[in-house]
Amino acid sequence: MSKHTRPWMLKTRPVGMVGPEHFELVESPVPSPDLDAGQVLVKTLMLGFDPAMRGWVMDEPSYLPPVALGEPMRASGVGQIISSSNPDLPKGSLVQGLLNWQEYSIGDPGAPIPLQVLPAGVSPALALGIFGTTSLTAYFGLLDIGQPQAGETVLVSGAAGATGSVVAQIARLKGCRVVGIAGGADKCQWLREACKVDAAIDYKSEDINQRIGELCPDGVNVFFDNVGGDTLEAGLNHMADFGRIVLCGAIASYNDEQPRPGPKNMMYLVTRRIRMQGFVVIDFLSRADEAIAALSEWVAAGELAWREDIQEGFENIPATLQRLFDGRNTGKQLLKLADPE
C-alpha cells in the first residue's frame, strides 16, 4: 500500500456551474493504522455522484454539514477494509457509505451515514446503482410521501435519471399510469421501451405544460419532482384535487448564480387541496432493508431496468461530478478507482 493518499479538496465555493476548478488535488500521508475503537481504514474502489452533492459545497444549513474549504469532498462510495478495529467490519470486507474523494480514508462508526458491509454477490456498481441511495430515495419518496394508488396517474420529472427511472417503474408496478419527463429522444425512447412508462415528454423538443395537459386530461395524482423551476410550475398546473407533490430535488436551479422566482401558481395548493412535501433519504435509512428486499425481488423478476455511466480514473473525479449537470450522463453516474483485492 502506498504511504500517501491524494484527496481532492474543496478549493472555492462555486457560483454557477460546479467544475474541476473548484477543487484541488493534494498529497497527504495515508491515515495512521493506529485506529480508535470502531474505526476502519478504507481503500476507495468506486464513487457515486448525485445532484445533492452540489448543495454540499454551499455554505448553507442543510441536512448534512457543508464541506469546509480545504477539506476533502465527499460522496457515496464503496471501499475495501484495509485495517479494522471494528468486529462488524472485518479486514477485506467490501463496504458502502459516505466516503471522501481520496484513495484511503478513515471510516468512523459515528459518521452521518455509517459504513455497511455489502451483501454477498453485490458488485460496487450494483450497490451504488440500483441498490443504492438513489433507488432508496425513489422507493421511500414515492411510496411513503407520494402514496400512489392503483389506477392513479403519476408524473415524474428527471425520469431518465437514476432516481426518476426507479420512481417511474415502481409506480408502474403499483398499478399506476406513468408519464415521464426527460431530455432527448433517446432518453424518452428508453423510458417507453425499457422502463415501460405509458408516455414520455421530451422537454428539449416539446412544450411541457401543453403535453402534460394532453397526456393527463383528468389531472395528475402524484407528481415526483426532481427538477423544480418551470417544470414544477407546469406540473402544478395539472394537479388533480387532493394530489400529492413529492419534492426530491431542483436540479434545474442548482447551478444558478441567482435564485429563480418560485412558481406563480402556488395558490393551486389551496384550491385543489394539494399536499406538497420535501424529504431526504437519510430519514429513512433505518428502513433500508425493506427497500432493498423489494428492489431485489423486482430485479430478480426482471421488472426493473437501469443504466450506469461508469467513468474511470482518480484525476477525473471533479469532471465526473460536472457530467451530472451538463446532461452528458445516462443513468447512475459512477467512477471506478480500483478493483477489490
Domain ranges of the chain: 4-129+306-336, 133-282
What local confidence, expressed as pLDDT, does residue 33 receive?
Answer: 64
d(CA 340, CA 191): 33
What local confidence, expressed as pLDDT, does residue 114 receive?
Answer: 84
- Residue 62, Cβ neighbours under 10 Å: how many? 11
What local confidence, expressed as pLDDT, does residue 257 receive?
Answer: 64
Those residues whose C-beta lies under 8 Å from the C-beta of residue 41, and which sit 6 or more positions away, are 30, 31, 33, 35, 81, 82, 83, 84, 104, 105, 106, 107
Q: Which residues of the chain have pLDDT under 70?
A: 1-3, 31-33, 254-257
Q: Model-level pTM?
A: 0.91
What local confidence, expressed as pLDDT, does residue 1 receive?
Answer: 54
Query: Does domain 4-129+306-336 correspond to CATH entry 3.30.450.20?
Result: no
pLDDT digits (tens, 9 = 90+) for 181-205: 999 999 999 999 999 999 999 999 9
d(CA 46, CA 255): 25
- For domain 133-282, the CATH class is alpha beta
Task: Give the chain's end-to-end CA distance (angstroms, integer).
Answer: 11
Q: Which three cell numbers stand for residue 236?
A: 402544478
What local confidence, expressed as pLDDT, does residue 2 receive?
Answer: 58
What local confidence, expressed as pLDDT, does residue 36 receive?
Answer: 84
What local confidence, expressed as pLDDT, does residue 62 receive?
Answer: 85
